[in-house]
Structure formats: structure tokens, C-alpha cells
Structure 1
């Protein structure tokens, strides 16, 4: 009886511990040693009359209240009731009793399109009290991106006020604290062609609206709109744009000008006087690092304290101009820390109680024995679950990669199409926010929206569009889907957008921010003269895709789990009736058949089954030995015959290769050799020769593999490599080796060795790759006349003063020629070839000095080539002389110079056809 009472008591205590943990999941997920909470992705902050601070942070998912000492009073977290939607907090207001008001928005799964929003009220201790004024945004109406129509939530004189924006008009709503519902207190219309950007006011008699075109209007009681900024004569650039409007206690306007990087104040009574309240330099003078690039909001409190929120900090500017230390974190109160310790102690006590319960069960119920059934479960369950996890992982990874690759290709295509959607000449004519919703603006907007017309009745699939203007070295945001983005806001330069504006290429990349995981592509916008004047961006929020992938993964895991449980039940039921020794042997045999070659049977029954177990172990040992040997042999074969070679022949294994197997394919052929290797090798011993060559190949071989090439044959002082894919890969590998050569020679110089030089010949053409030899001796080889041509190019690199010499077949195969630096060497006769070839000197990887000189003289050199080819030898000679004066190391220019001089003085031969002969 006593045992049953103890068992019942343990069950009750475990249930109580489980309940405590369940009720305090938010506590148990944080270490009791953590005494501070970091503020991240801050979007809004206000203070109440008691100097408590309310902050929206964590990507608009959390609201935290801090007391005047910075201690956490409470934290409100978004509760997502539907996995298909995203919920955000937006806007803050506090009444005199300490009740908090905020706007809760519901967005689509990608966090882009607003579906609905409503005002929510929380009690002074952070409990949700009420929600009201719901606004729904049907999918068949004009979509709102990221921000809804509720604006400027505020409490003044214990009256809640807010505005509802509708394109070019705003409506003020008022609700006294404790009232049932808000009521409309006035509606104002902007002048024709003006559209609402932001609105602020402390009553129906004092309402200011900023427009998308950069003006500020004061809305009169009678409904008229009076322009207060900018007035005629106010000194401002065409790109100054007032944002984040706020009113101080005296009714003066405070706003942020991101173009000028300043927080300004404007007194409507003296509109021609604009005060600078805060700049980056002002903050720096007080020892505070402030950046307008990560500023998310700004507002003025009742005591005229200016609060600016940034991604990771909150900065307060007192009315006397002093900056307070930045607020970057909140501290937990001693009571909260004590609560965390108590919950953790309860959890630890529960764990110890559970261990004690298991021990009692083992001793008193199982009589210190573990049944074979349980043993089998302990062994089989981890194996099956592990296999399930591995299978699910590979399915998930493969699916993810394919979806990302498809998304990247789709975005690149859409970004490239931007040049057809946006007229670059008209984009250049847009010079200020005053161009908002002009004729050209509307055309651009319509063209941008048209690329997703097929999703118009559903959703945008997480796609996002943006247009930027490039002017005077600065990139400006012009048109975006997000409703909070205004025209001519400077956008920071990045490596990707710099490439687009300088090279005119389409670039793709990905990033992660507080709105999710994004993939994007950006393409250039050209004017009629071919100059890049803008960038068109298409991006996609991958959060929805990620959720879809996770759903598939969950389904796979669930199905595998069900199948696993069924199989496990069958195995356990059948194994119950068998002897333990046979079960061990059977399970071991299954493990061997499944590829677990390390299985060893441990049977100590000292009978026939034990003998069978010993034989089984001997057999398994032989199998392991044989498999290990076969594995080592296979790995050794792949070192002599690359897997790529077998892939070209459509063979799975070296065992499938037969004499005569061959395939014809067009590939890039690269020959690299060390110059004057014979003279170098004469000074080395045979061992030193081998060490040097192996060191050389080890250093430069990876540049072939890393660019999807294959080293087909070693040539003693170099090697021949094949590139089956893009010509860019072969050229990038060549450039990489030339750059590495400079580093390699520096290391040799540090070790007291002389530098080496090498040449690379690169050609593209058809070749036949296959197996030659006889039945007892096979070898993979390449048969092609183009291999000889590549070898000849390598030999010609030295007399032509080139590191990399390529034919026109390589240049013509490049998808983006502008990303490489090369010059035309003209038509050159190759020994053994009837027809001359167009050759190019790729100097991109050469030392900076040589590269700069060749780049500087490129135009003059190629002009001289053309003069030479048409027989104007005197003019060509003078042009080449000009090149030589600028670059005295230019061997090609010297060679042409002497030929021009010879032909000018004595004339050409009868068979001269404008080509160059190099011996």
C-alpha cells in the first residue's frame, strides 16, 4: 500500500511541475543568468508622464515597457493564431492611466501586403484589454504594402486620436478614454495632384499633412489646405524631403530630412526660419554615434524631448540640446530574475523527480531487469529516427536548392527586363519628389506592376519591385512597392549595385533583415546614349517559400514516422516469441544487410547459436576487409582517372570503361607551361625537380577544379586542362593562375629562389575524348587538332609579351565580355595552320603596373593594328611608337613596329595579307 501511495504522490508532483513549466514557457526559455534584454530592430518608442518608455522592437513582434531606471516592466509578444499570416505592431500611444494603445496589422505570409489592421488596448500591466476600429483590405482593392491607413496614434488630454489616410485625403477620429468607439472629427482633402505621405495633429484645428512630393500643408478648419513648406525663397535642394512629422508642445513642426541628414524644426508662424535640432556631427560632438541610415522613427514628447529610434538604439535629445546616453537594452527587475530562478529550480526538481521515478520503476516493477522488448526499442528507435531525419534532410535540401535556383533565374529575367519597362531618358528627367504620380511616374508604376499581373487576383507571391535613379554618383530610391518609401531617398552603395551601374550587368544576391529572408536581382536602366541611369530591382521574400518547404518537410516526417511506428510494432511482436540469442543474430544480420558493416554479434549462450554467432562475426570481418580494400582501390583509380572523364564517357565506374569508348564534344582547351623550364631544371637535382613540379601543380591545379575544369594531362612543366562548360570558367581559371603566380614568386623570393614565369594558351573547339591503348594497357586521352593550336598559343605568349593568349573562339563565347580586360592582337599566322587566327591578349591577371599600361594604351594599340592590317604602315608605325613610349615593355607593339618599319622601307611580300607571323 505504501508503494502505491509513493507512486501516486510522484505522479501528482510531476503533473504539478509540468503545469508550472507550461504556464512559464517564456521564462524557461531564458537563462536565469540573463539579466538584460537586448533591443533589436527597433521601430518606435514613446514615453509617458511617469517617464516609462514603451518600445516596439524585434521586427515589430514585441512591445517592451521599461521603467525610468530601464527595468523591464512587461513584454508583449505577437500571438500568431494563423501560420499563414504575419502580425506586426505599429504605432504607440499611452493614456494618463497607463493603458497602452497600438495598431496590430495582419499581413500576407510574405510580410508585404496588409490584409487588415485594428487598434488594440493593453492594461497598465500588459494584458490585452480591448480591440476596436477594424479595417479590412480586400485583395481586389488597391493593395497596401507594409503599412496600412491608420496613422499618428496619439493620446492628448485623455482623448485617443488617430488619422485614416485615403490617398489624397485624411480623416481624424477621436475617442475619449473609456468611450465605446471612436467618431470622425473632420476630413481634409489635399490639393489636386497631391498625395498623403504622413499626417500629424493634436486636434481638429491643428492638422499638418506631408505629401509624396515633399510639401507640408496645414489643413484649415474649413477644409482648405495651406502650404507651409517649402515657401518661395526657402533655401532647400530639390531632393529635401520632410519625413516623420511630429509636433512639439508649442505647435511647431519637427521632421527628418534624410537627404540633408538632419532633424529640423519649423515654426509655421515663422516659416522662413528652419532650425537644425540634430545632425550626425552634433551627436558626435557629444560623444554619441548617430546614423540617419538606420533611423526608423522620430517623435517629440510633451516636454519637447526629441526621441529618435534606430535599428539598435534609442536616442533622446533634451530641450536644452543635450543628448542622453543611447538606450540599447533593458534590465530585468530583481523580482523577475527571482521568478526565473524559481521556475528553473522547479524544472530541475522535476527532472530529478523523473529520474527517481524511473529508478523506482526499474527496481520495484521491473525487478532490476530490462526486457528484450525494451532493449530492442532503445536500439531501434534512435536508428530509425536518425534515418528519418537524414532522409528528410536530403529531401528538404534538394527541394530548397531547386526552388532557390528557380527563384534566382526568374528574378534575373525580370530584372533584365527592366530596361524594356523603364524609359531611361524619362527617368533622367525626374529630378525631385514633385514628379510623384506625374505621367511618366504612372507609366513606370504601371509597367512595374504589369510583370505580376497573373497574381493580381491572389497575392504577389512574395515579389517586390523597386526603381532607383543613378545621378552624380548617388543612387536614389524612386518607386517601390512599400508605402513608407518616398522619392529621392539616398540609397547606400553596395558591391552589387556598383557593378550594375559601372558594368551594366545583372546581379543577384540575397539578404536577411527584420522583414524576412530575401532574394533579389538588379538590372541596369539605360538612356538612349547607352549610359546607365538607373537600376530596376525585383526581389522575393523567401519566408513564404520557406514555410511551404517546412510544410512539405513536416508531411514527410509525419509519414515516415507513421511507417516507422508500424514497422517497429511488427518487429517487436514477432521478436517476442523468439529466443534472445536468435533475435540478436537476426538484428545483426539485418544491420549487415542494410550496410552497417561494423556490426558485431555478442552471443554468450554457449550453444549452436553461439557458434553461429562466431561464424557470423568472422564473415562480417571478411566483408569489412573486402569492402575496405575495394574502397581503397576505387579511390586510387579516381586519382589516376578523374570522375569527370568517366562522366563524359557516361560511365558510372572505372570497371565499365572499355577500349574504344569515346565521345566528341566542344570544350575549352587550356595549355599552361613554365617558361625556360629546361634551364631551370638543369640547376636542380632529380628529387628537387620532382618536388618543384609537384609544388607548382599543387598550387595552380585547384584553379582548374574550382572553375569546373578537368586536368587531362601533365606535361612535365605544366598541364593541359579541359573546360566543358562556359568560356568564362576557363578564362577565370587562367586569370586566377596568373594572379597566383605573383604571390607564388613572392614566396619563392622569400625562400631565396628565382622567380618563374609561365604562359597560358586558351582555345575552344571540338575534340574527341576517349580510351586508347590495348587490352592490357589503357589510357584516357584527347585527340584534336585544336590541342596543338592551344599548345602553339602557349609558346607564342612570350614573344607576344602576353600571359594569357586566347583565340576569338573564346572571346565570342563569353556571355559578358565587359567583365574581362583584353586587347586585340590582330590576325596571326600559326605554324602548321593554313588560315590565320584572331588572337587576344588577356592581361586582367597581370601585375598592376603592366595591366595599367596595357589598359592605358589599349585603344591606341588596337587602332595601330587596324592601320597595319590595311597597309598604312607609316601611320601604324607611328601609332605603335606611341604605344612603346608609354609602355616600353610591350613586346607585341615592338614586334609590330619593326614589321611596319620594314614594310614601309622595303615593301611587303606578294602573299602578305595583313597578318602577323610569330616565330
Structure 2
């Protein structure tokens, strides 16, 4: 189970990582991996740099695309709308290093009112690295900007970034060195009184040109005075040949769009009477480009003075003389980009497969194809409940949305009908050209239109748009529109709807959708004093307002569905929980019995089928308890002969699993305990008294082994052998406990009229092998190890060395905190059966207080004497041991060393003496 949980965790982590990677590259997943081309759609501008890279504003001003000279896509940069705001790209400029500059425009949620503008720069790789010159339009006292702000004619020339700020009747030129951080104003010029800025171009003083909304082009002299250069007297044009989107090429010539003439024209300020037609309606057809007064292309001038003409999904490039360079309709993804696209799709597929595999692991391997009753019922009933609520909500939502639309159409119709009261048809009929821009009649019309809509907008409904058109000779011309990029007397296309207004005088409503949003509009006729229709008044509303209401309604519906579903789930789960409580009782009782709680009784009082099942369960449990009790008694009886710890060392769950030859090797502490002079004492006792005495002794001393995680492996009449698999401290603490118990035991024996006894304890640590020996019909657990014999020899040495607990240096080295115990080194001692001598230690921590105090007092002197003995300084060692004996006359080890020192000092040592102590 653990490995499946670990595998599930790993799969979830991998799926999460793959999903995050796909989410981080979600723009890649939006396009098919089989499609290598990037088609252009709603383009608004394009520009080429000196390296012949092509920069395009596409996707309704939402995306920047860079194509290399080979047509491969270098990068695409998108902009997403924020909360209550719409973002767009306007203007393009590129420097010699391949950096791209553009104006990021922030509009309100309806895409109408400009809230802010800033110039931003992208690196050659498409990363935004800097922003310059942010302009906010938050002051309500200022005149509103619609759709376009005041930043115009962004351009990079001669290592300088330049642009104009349009202040309606004057322009200010800002410049900044490429690589700088703060543009500064370098030139300001004002148009003649009554003239208003439509566009501006140029970067050098004396070559700055401004178009007025009344249709003129002015050159701004170095001292700021305007000079009219177009139209001059005698130029063949009407006042409606309005020059728009003014550009200045590298040869000082002006290129502009003529909506009325449906051409892209050029004039040389040095020869202003010559107007060249670079692209006409007829020549555009030759390049499969359809242009008209209501669908004119955008134009830019490249570093080589070539023209880049953009219309809808096609880019046309012309040389400065008008000859064709080529056309572009799409970009091509490079092989590297396609590989990245395939990799992202592969990661998406991998994420889905990992999720499926995770579900498989969870359901099949972890849940074992098991699901609770609550989950099964939820899977069935919840979708039915949620689906029913969704269907009901859909009808409520659609009815409410339709009502909102109907109310909007009704409101717009009333406003459009009111146009005849706002607009004087006679005065409208007198307007003939852009020269009428900002005349008294124009201002009067504008004020009346604004006043009505200001009252409407104050009510909380926003997104209204207004326009006034003039009907003349069967054609329709724009007169007043909210959009700042629309000038007077631009032709307006004739449609069935506006023809109904012109011909029948009806109030018509309709809707349309473009890159700015979804609109509902109403058209109403404007009459002159003779009853002739001379104009059309349009009121429209961006449906973002209604859509916002719809989204809020939908959000509320979804929220309510979620809340209701949650409440239903809670109620459903509560009811199911109560209904299943009896089954849970039965299950918990079964689990309790399976865990060994044999006294469990299930109490179910529901008086139904589950209650009957509970009674049967109790009867079954009673039989199981009886059987388990019998088996338990048998098992406990077995464990008295073969301890449970012994089975654990052999990694056996039960004595039933034990086989002849089972064995395991492990390092343990080996403890030998024996009663001194037991055999001489047992001769004075009857066999029954011997058994009673031994059982009494073992009953008092055996628990000290078990209490310190030890195991009594063998009883040997006068004592026992115990094993300790854990820390040596546990074995040593067991020894000290037995020494303390001995004092109490002897007090008890004295009260009963018995003589006291003494015990010797040997403690050693080393590897041993535990296993099962015997034959098939007679098995026994046993331990085989030389270290067992060594521990036994240590116990035998306790009496001649005067030690109650004798341990080897293997024990002392294994202690984690030696300061907890009192002991002294007895030196290197030769042990019978062991070729190499052992360093032994006398642990006197558990001896009577008097003996322990004397040994502690002489410890340093004793150990120093042992060291003198080991290096052969027998005289000094003898004197030191004499001092020890004077203090502690019962110190057998000191006496033994003293006699040997005296012997070796008087007679010398044998040839094989190596500093050890031999105890015979």
C-alpha cells in the first residue's frame, strides 16, 4: 500500500508540474501543433526596420507580431484586459538595435474613454524591458479622449525617439536619446485660432507638419508660427479631400490618406501643387486589396522610404515610387518554435495521461475498487440536482438578459427619436466641409448631444456612443462622432438600416460586433424646416454594460447553484450519515474484534434488517471470543517456553512459523548471573526446598531483565543467561537493579531465618547466532557464540577479583554516557579459553554504600597502580596497592595485584609475561 501511495504522490507531483508548464505556455496550446503558419486578422498597423524585419499590430490591437526577413515569426506579444479596463497597442517605431517601441493605451471597460497611455519598449526577443512617459486622463475637468489618446507619431530617427503630444490646438514634440529613460519637450507650436490638431509628423525643426481637423496641413516654423502648405490657392481639390494619418518620408515628402478620394496620396512641400496618388482604388484591386471610403488601409514608412500598407488580413509593401515589393498575409513559425509547440502539446497530453494514471492508482490500487455508499449516491444524485438547477437557471438567465436588451433598445430608440429636437436640420444642411469643425453650429450640436448623454451616464449606465451624420445627394457623411480618430465629412457606408431612415423616416435599431465590442444602436431622422430628411442621429451603446450585468447575473446564478448544491450535499450527507450509523456501528465492532478487542458487543436498536444483522454478529462474536480465549491460553503457554522476543529476533509472527534451522546473527549484550556457593548450599536443602528457592530467586530477579528490554534465554539452576539487543546501558541498568534487589532479598531471608546469598554478574557484548536446534519433533531455541562462554568466564572471575559486576571493555565502549556509572579498570586480564587478554572493569555502582565509597575513594590510586604493574614497575605498583589495601582491606583485586607485584619484584617475571593479570 505504501508503495502505491508513494507512486500516487509522485504521479500527482509530475502531473502538477506538467500542468503548470502547459498553463505557463497556454498561448501555445491555443493554436494547433499541425499549423505552421500564423494568419493575420484584424491588423491596424505594420512597420519595417532597416534589417527588413516586419512588426505588426494584430488581433484588434491586442497582439504585437515580429517577422524576420525570411517571414518566420520571431515573437508574438499579447495584452490581456484587466479588471474593468481594456488595453490596446497603438503606434510602432523600431531602432537600429531591433528594439520595438509602441504606445500602450488603457481604455475603460467599454473600450471608449481613454484612461491612460504610456510608451513601452520590447527587446529584439520580445521581452518588455522599459516604459517611458505615462500620461493619465483622470481629471474629469479635461475634455475626454475617445479611443485614441494624445500621443501621436512615435518614431525613431538618428538615434532619437520622438513623439507628439496633442493638446487639441497645439502640439508638443518630445525627444529622447535611444537608451535614455526620460523624454523631454523640445518644441511646441500652436495652430491658428479656430484650428484643431488632427495629426502631426516630423522630427526636425522646420520640418514639423500638423494637420488640422478642418482639412489643412501646416508647417510649424522654428519660431512656432504655423505656415499653410496645403491646400494652397489653385490646388484642384474639394474641401472634403481631407488629409489624414500624415507621415513624413526620408526625402521630406508628406504621405497621407484621403478618405473622400479613396487614395493614398503624397505631396512634396517644396512643390505643394503636385499631388501624387500612390495607391488608388483601381491599383489596389490589382493587388487583390479592396479599399473604399469606409475601409481605408493604414500606412507606415519604412527605414528605406518604402510604404507598408495594411488592410484587414493583408500587408502590401511598395517602394517609394509606388512599385510593388511584395505582400504578406501570414507569418511562418520556425522549426524551433514548432518543436516547442509540439513539446507543450506533448506535456499537455502527458499531464492528462498522468491524471488518468493517478485516478487508476487511487481507485484500483489504493481504494481497491471500493467506494463508500455516500460517494456512490452522490455520484448519482448530485449531477441530477445540479443539472436541474442549471436548466432552471438558464431560462431565468436568458429571460432576464432579453429583458435587459429590450430595455436598452427602447432607451436608445427614445434617444434617437429625440435627435430631431436636439439638432437643427437647417443648420446641419449648411455644413459642407471639415472647415465647419468647431464652428458655432458644430459646438451647439456637440453641447446638446453631450448634455443629454451626461444625464443618462449620471444614472449609472455607461458605454453610450453618439454620432451625427449628414445626408446629401443620397450619400451619408460623418459630421460628429465621439471617436477622436474620425473627422468630418468622411463618407459613411450606406446600409439597409440607414436607407430605411433616409427614405422612410423610421426609427430603426440593430446591432453589430467589431473589435471594440458588441453594440446595439438606434438611428433616427433629422429634418429641416421643410420636412426633408437631411441627417441621421445615432445613439448606440456598447453591450459590455449589459454583458457585465449578464456576467454578474451568471456569477450570482453559479454562486447560488454552488451554495444550494453545497447545502443539499450537506443535508444529503447528514441524512445518509444518520441512516448508515447502524452499519458504521457494525463495521467498527468488526474492526475492534479484528484488532483483538474480543469483548466488543454491537448495540443496534433500529428495529430493521441491520438490527437483525447486529444480533447475529453478537452471537458470532461470542463464539469467536470463546475460541480466541482458548487459543490465547495455548499461545501464552507456548510463550512461556519460547519467549516472544526470541520469535521477534527470528522475524516470526507466531510459534507456528518456527522451523528447524531458523537462525539469525545479531550483536547483543550477554549477561550471566549465578548464585555463589550454590551447590554447597543446595546440599543442605531438600529437592523441594531447592526448587522453591530457585523459583523464588528467579521470580525476584528475572523481571529486571524484562524491564530493560532483555530476554532470559536459559535458566542454569544457580542462575540464568540473558540477552539485551538494545543499548548496553539497558543491560548495565538491569545488573544494578539486581544488585539493589539482592540487598532487599537478603533482608527478607534474614527475617525468615535463612542465610544471605551473593551473586556474581558477568557482562560482555559481541556477535552471536540465535536459532532453532533439535529435531523435527523436539525443537529448542538456543544461542551459539564464543562470547557467551566469555561472559560465563567473566562471571566466574567476579569472586576472585572481588567484583559484583564484571564487564568487558566492549560494554564500556558501547556506553553513550559513561558518567552515569561508577566503575574502575582492572587492567588486562587473561581469561580462560581466550588467547588474547581482555581489559575488564569492576562496576561497583550497585554494591553496598560502604564498599562503593571505598572503591570510589581508591579508584584513581588503584588504576595508577595497575598501569605501573603493566609497565613492569613492580616496586612502585606494590607500594601503590599497599596504599589501596590500607584504605580498603576488603579489596581482593588490590591484594591479588600486591602478591603478584611482590613475587615479580623478588623473583622476576616469566619470559612470556606481557603486563596481564592471570587469575587462577
- Per the normalisation by structure 2, the TM-score is 0.61
CA distance in 2, matches of 1:530, 1:450: 25
Partner of 1:90: 90
Does the Cα contact within 8 Å between 1:140 and 1:457 map onto a contact in 2? no
Does the Cα contact within 8 Å between 1:470 and 1:535 map onto a contact in 2? yes
Partner of 1:473: 474
Measured at CA, do residues 364 and 375 of structure 1 come closer, stay the same or move farther in structure 2, by a change above 3 Å? same
**Rg (Cα) greater in structure:** 2
Measured at CA, do residues 199 and 459 of structure 1 come closer, stay the same or move farther in structure 2, by a change above 3 Å? farther
Report whether the alignment pairs 1:122 with 2:129. Answer: no
Partner of 2:396: 395
Write out aligned runs for 1:490-889 (5 A). Answer: 490-578=491-579
CA distance in 1, matches of 2:17, 2:406: 50
Report whether the alignment pairs 1:454 with 2:451. Answer: no
Q: Give the RMSD, CA atoms, in angstroms.
A: 2.2
Q: Secondary structure at the match of 1:383?
A: helix
Measured at CA, do residues 426 and 581 of structure 1 come closer, stay the same or move farther in structure 2, by a change above 3 Å? farther
Partner of 1:58: 59
Report whether the alignment pairs 1:267 with 2:268. Answer: yes
Measured at CA, do residues 49 and 384 of structure 1 come closer, stay the same or move farther in structure 2, by a change above 3 Å? farther
Measured at CA, do residues 388 and 67 of structure 1 come closer, stay the same or move farther in structure 2, by a change above 3 Å? farther
Structure 2 unmatched runs, 5+: 585-607, 611-920
CA distance in 1, matches of 2:379, 2:326: 57
Partner of 1:315: 316
Structure 1 residue 48 displacement after superposition: 1.1
CA distance in 2, matches of 1:288, 1:87: 29
Partner of 1:156: 157
Partner of 1:844: none
Structure 1 residue 51 displacement after superposition: 1.0
Q: Secondary structure at the match of 1:406?
A: helix
Measured at CA, do residues 10 and 191 of structure 1 come closer, stay the same or move farther in structure 2, by a change above 3 Å? same
CA distance in 2, matches of 1:6, 1:569: 32
Q: Secondary structure at the match of 2:397?
A: helix
Report whether the alignment pairs 1:424 with 2:425. Answer: yes
Structure 1 residue 58 displacement after superposition: 1.2
Structure 1 residue 268 displacement after superposition: 0.7
Q: Secondary structure at the match of 2:488?
A: coil
Residue by residue over 1:118-157, the C-alpha shift from the partner in whole angstroms, topping out at 9 and shown as x without a partner, is 1111111111111221111123321111111100011111
Q: Secondary structure at the match of 2:406?
A: helix
Does the Cα contact within 8 Å between 1:139 and 1:458 map onto a contact in 2? no
Partner of 1:106: 106
Does the Cα contact within 8 Å between 1:64 and 1:75 map onto a contact in 2? yes
Partner of 1:13: 14
CA distance in 2, matches of 1:549, 1:401: 10
Does the Cα contact within 8 Å between 2:386 and 2:561 map onto a contact in 1? no
CA distance in 2, matches of 1:537, 1:468: 8
Structure 1 residue 36 displacement after superposition: 2.1
Does the Cα contact within 8 Å between 1:101 and 1:122 map onto a contact in 2? yes
Q: For structure 1, which segment, 247-256 or 377-386, has the greater mean C-alpha deviation from structure 2 after superposition?
A: 377-386
Partner of 2:346: 345
Q: Secondary structure at the match of 2:324?
A: coil
Residue by residue over 1:272-320, the C-alpha shift from the partner in whole angstroms, topping out at 9 and shown as x without a partner, is 1111111021233455544453224212222121122212222222234
Structure 1 residue 337 displacement after superposition: 1.5
Structure 1 unmatched runs, 5+: 584-606, 610-919
Structure 1 residue 211 displacement after superposition: 0.4
CA distance in 2, matches of 1:238, 1:10: 73
Structure 1 residue 447 displacement after superposition: 1.2
Measured at CA, do residues 579 and 284 of structure 1 come closer, stay the same or move farther in structure 2, by a change above 3 Å? same
CA distance in 1, matches of 2:308, 2:460: 37
Q: Secondary structure at the match of 2:477?
A: strand
Does the Cα contact within 8 Å between 1:188 and 1:223 map onto a contact in 2? yes
Partner of 2:804: none
Does the Cα contact within 8 Å between 2:201 and 2:208 map onto a contact in 1? yes
Residue by residue over 1:177-219, the C-alpha shift from the partner in whole angstroms, topping out at 9 and shown as x without a partner, is 1112000010000011110001011223310000000000000
Q: Secondary structure at the match of 1:126?
A: coil
Residue by residue over 1:743-787, the C-alpha shift from the partner in whole angstroms, topping out at 9 and shown as x without a partner, is xxxxxxxxxxxxxxxxxxxxxxxxxxxxxxxxxxxxxxxxxxxxx
Q: Secondary structure at the match of 2:77?
A: strand
CA distance in 2, matches of 1:284, 1:201: 31
Partner of 1:217: 218
Q: Secondary structure at the match of 1:519?
A: strand
CA distance in 2, matches of 1:22, 1:309: 33
Partner of 1:182: 183
Residue by residue over 1:300-349, the C-alpha shift from the partner in whole angstroms, topping out at 9 and shown as x without a partner, is 22212112221222222223432345322222222112111111112212
Structure 1 residue 374 displacement after superposition: 1.9
Partner of 2:379: 378
Report whether the alignment pairs 1:230 with 2:221. Answer: no
Residue by residue over 1:559-598, the C-alpha shift from the partner in whole angstroms, topping out at 9 and shown as x without a partner, is 2202211221321232145369999xxxxxxxxxxxxxxx
Q: How many residues end up aligned between the 2 structures?
A: 585
Measured at CA, do residues 289 and 239 of structure 1 come closer, stay the same or move farther in structure 2, by a change above 3 Å? closer
Does the Cα contact within 8 Å between 2:519 and 2:543 map onto a contact in 1? yes
Q: For structure 1, which segment, 148-157 or 69-78, has the greater mean C-alpha deviation from structure 2 after superposition?
A: 69-78
Residue by residue over 1:644-668, the C-alpha shift from the partner in whole angstroms, topping out at 9 and shown as x without a partner, is xxxxxxxxxxxxxxxxxxxxxxxxx
Structure 1 residue 380 displacement after superposition: 2.4
CA distance in 2, matches of 1:325, 1:413: 51
Q: For structure 1, which segment, 330-339 or 191-200, has the greater mean C-alpha deviation from structure 2 after superposition?
A: 330-339
CA distance in 1, matches of 2:98, 2:122: 9
Q: Secondary structure at the match of 2:31?
A: coil
Does the Cα contact within 8 Å between 2:62 and 2:79 map onto a contact in 1? yes
Residue by residue over 1:235-276, the C-alpha shift from the partner in whole angstroms, topping out at 9 and shown as x without a partner, is 001211001111111000111111111111111111111111
Q: Secondary structure at the match of 1:235?
A: coil
CA distance in 2, matches of 1:294, 1:326: 18
CA distance in 2, matches of 1:581, 1:426: 90
Residue by residue over 1:598-649, the C-alpha shift from the partner in whole angstroms, topping out at 9 and shown as x without a partner, is xxxxxxxxx999xxxxxxxxxxxxxxxxxxxxxxxxxxxxxxxxxxxxxxxx
CA distance in 1, matches of 2:166, 2:541: 28
CA distance in 1, matches of 2:442, 2:289: 40
CA distance in 1, matches of 2:19, 2:410: 50
Does the Cα contact within 8 Å between 1:239 and 1:433 map onto a contact in 2? yes
CA distance in 2, matches of 1:514, 1:421: 30
CA distance in 1, matches of 2:389, 2:340: 39
Measured at CA, do residues 575 and 177 of structure 1 come closer, stay the same or move farther in structure 2, by a change above 3 Å? same
CA distance in 2, matches of 1:540, 1:582: 63
Q: Secondary structure at the match of 1:529?
A: coil
Measured at CA, do residues 408 and 570 of structure 1 come closer, stay the same or move farther in structure 2, by a change above 3 Å? same
Measured at CA, do residues 582 and 110 of structure 1 come closer, stay the same or move farther in structure 2, by a change above 3 Å? farther
CA distance in 1, matches of 2:203, 2:574: 77
Q: Secondary structure at the match of 1:336?
A: helix
Structure 1 residue 99 displacement after superposition: 1.2
Partner of 1:727: none
CA distance in 1, matches of 2:457, 2:76: 38
CA distance in 2, matches of 1:402, 1:420: 28
CA distance in 1, matches of 2:243, 2:214: 10
Does the Cα contact within 8 Å between 2:425 and 2:529 map onto a contact in 1? yes
